[in-house]
Structure 1
Amino acid sequence: MKKIIYILISVLMVSLSACKTDAKKAVNGKLNVVTTTTMITDLLQNIGGNTINVVGLMGSGVDPHLYKASEGDVAKLVNADVVFYGGLHLEGKLVEVFEKMERTGKKTIAVSDALNKKELIGSEYFASNYDPHIWFNVTFWKQITTYVTNELKKADPKNAAVYEQNSKKYLQELTKLDAEVREKINELPQDKRILVTAHDAFNYFGVSYNFNVVGLQGLSTATEAGVQDVQELSKFIIENKVKAIFVESSVPKRTIEALQASVTSKNHDVAIGGTLYSDALGDKGTVEGTYIGMFKYNVTTIVNALK
């Protein structure tokens, strides 16, 4: 992996040095924006609309923690006017690439910079010391929307009014989303709000909506769950009479299936309540392929399974 990153950085630096450091608009005059995760891609598409060209490096079901940059990513990054990424070490080794790019004059922006670090969830086990799954706090996502909007306005002042208008509309939709989510979650008694998933992607969700969230793996899927982890969590499920546990779209389901088998071996039944979207949105063109659609789908799946 280190060799791949070194090669990517080397090729990228040579390519960037051959280009002008000022903005290189596409033939159609639009700002070229490259994003990493599907959540950030969706956000830029909502704010930029038809005014920008958005190219996402990662697709549906792609785990950003384990993402390996390809040779094709070099061309995308070289041709970008602005690069938006999550930060907080969400994208693993890609952060090294973005930092190198920034030093060459290429504009790279970590959307997590919009947030007050004091409000983030810390972790002694994760490299950044912060939980990077910030999109599961709608209030955070609204702050990030405003931050990204301002960065687009700086990069492309002539279309500032368009970005501002689109942002205002999207912020209203996010406010409505939060209200709808809270209404749905209120169908679930507090003692049933225990969310067991493949890895710790839902901690911000838990804080926002009063859920006790337990992940089989850590904050990063790069950490493997061991036999002891499975045994301890199966004991927790039985003691708390948890009705259902959940698979994640970007994490192999074998970990949750192993947990279910462990619970069953102790003469207790626990269902797999469905698949949640954690580190990536659903397929493009589907409701779950948007941030708002994904959030509603997750909440409906969780509430219906735990009732």
Structure 2
Amino acid sequence: MKSMILRWSFFFTALFVVTNGHAKLRVVASTSQIADIVRNVGGDEVDLTVLMGPGVDPHLYKATARDVVSMQRADLILYNGLHLEGRLAETFSKVNKLGRTVVAVAESIPAEQLLASANYEDAHDPHVWFDPALWAYVISSVEESLAQADPDHAQDFAQRSSLYKREVESVSAWAQKRIDSVPVEQRVLVTSHDAYNYFGRAFGFQVVGVQGVSTASEAGLADITKTADFIKRRKIPAIFVESSVSPATIERISKDSGARIGGELFSDALGARGEMHIGSEGEQYDVGTYLGMFKYNVDTIVNGLIE
């Protein structure tokens, strides 16, 4: 009798553990930027799967078999939208038809605040995370999506979302203060592709991306020559490579123009979580987080242009 009671005790304990394990909201995020919002807003109530890791180019990413299984099992799938994950569109559509909830969180931003895309007619530039004011809309969209999927924790999501948005607002003010040290005539940002137009609009930079908004096509010789001539004419001291784009084009332009490479910027993906960098003021940045990535980028740009 005693052994039977013990067996039933073990059974119910195991059942409790399994049930609690599945009680978490299963969320799939396409990019590391969106995943960072989910971690900050969702907290321990969320079981998160991220499709794209550090250095992955979302413009070119295709779903793996494991990705499809994760999405089929998910309660909620969050992606940027605005054509950022162009090769995943069909996959998102299919899992949505299977009953999964799929949300393009960046498409919550009012259209009048979006920039036009040079690559796609009647489309918008998808790199909205480089304007913290726009990113706040995305944070709200993630919060609302989580709350609809898990109403019991809606208040927790709202509280964390409010805190996170204040932190994003604070990093924007910090960035403006750092950028104010760069003379206005030197605020020209040359990179591999047009990932930084929202950043330029928000902080007063002229942005030159050799490949355009998408990385699906490579820069031609005419683009390289035109950019090198522009750099020499404007006497731009530094240009920048990107973490998710081949550095070959920028290295060629650096050689042709005489401008040094001022460093590597994070563009379409965050860095590895826990990867720390020390800023010019001695602060440590975890570039695997949105806030750390943003500070690292600003420090790299400012240091490159004023040294």
TM-score (norm 2): 0.88
- Contact 1:65–1:91, Cα closer than 8 Å, also in 2: yes
Partners of 1:81 and 1:127 lie apart in 2 by 33
Secondary structure of 1:162's aligned partner: helix
Deviation at 1:253, TM superposition (A): 0.7
Q: 2:58 is matched by which residue type in structure 1?
A: P
Partners of 1:153 and 1:277 lie apart in 2 by 30
Is 1:211 equivalent to 2:238 in the alignment?
no
Is 1:63 equivalent to 2:52 in the alignment?
no
**Matches for 1:41-190 after TM superposition, within 5 Å:** 41-126=35-120, 129-190=123-184
Partners of 1:139 and 1:99 lie apart in 2 by 29
- Rg larger in structure: 2
Q: 1:205 is matched by which residue type in structure 2?
A: F
- Contact 2:63–2:91, Cα closer than 8 Å, also in 1: no
Q: 1:187 is matched by which residue type in structure 2?
A: S
Q: 1:283 is matched by which residue type in structure 2?
A: A
Deviation at 1:69, TM superposition (A): 1.2
Secondary structure of 1:199's aligned partner: coil
1:303 is matched with 302
Partners of 1:151 and 1:123 lie apart in 2 by 26
Secondary structure of 1:66's aligned partner: coil
Q: 1:293 is matched by which residue type in structure 2?
A: G
1:282 is matched with 271
Give the gaps of 5 or more residues in structure 1.
1-24, 264-268
Partners of 1:112 and 1:121 lie apart in 2 by 13
- Contact 2:118–2:213, Cα closer than 8 Å, also in 1: no
Deviation at 1:128, TM superposition (A): 6.0
Give the gaps of 5 or more residues in structure 2.
1-18, 276-285
Q: 1:304 is matched by which residue type in structure 2?
A: N
Partners of 1:124 and 1:277 lie apart in 2 by 21
Partners of 1:258 and 1:35 lie apart in 2 by 35
Partners of 1:273 and 1:199 lie apart in 2 by 16
2:282 is matched with none
Partners of 1:141 and 1:82 lie apart in 2 by 20
Q: 1:275 is matched by which residue type in structure 2?
A: E
Is 1:270 equivalent to 2:259 in the alignment?
yes
Partners of 1:224 and 1:128 lie apart in 2 by 22
The two structures, once aligned, show a CA RMSD in angstroms of: 1.3
- Contact 1:26–1:32, Cα closer than 8 Å, also in 2: no
Partners of 1:262 and 1:82 lie apart in 2 by 48
Secondary structure of 1:64's aligned partner: coil
Matched residues, number = 278
Is 1:196 equivalent to 2:190 in the alignment?
yes
Q: 1:87 is matched by which residue type in structure 2?
A: G
Deviation at 1:118, TM superposition (A): 1.7
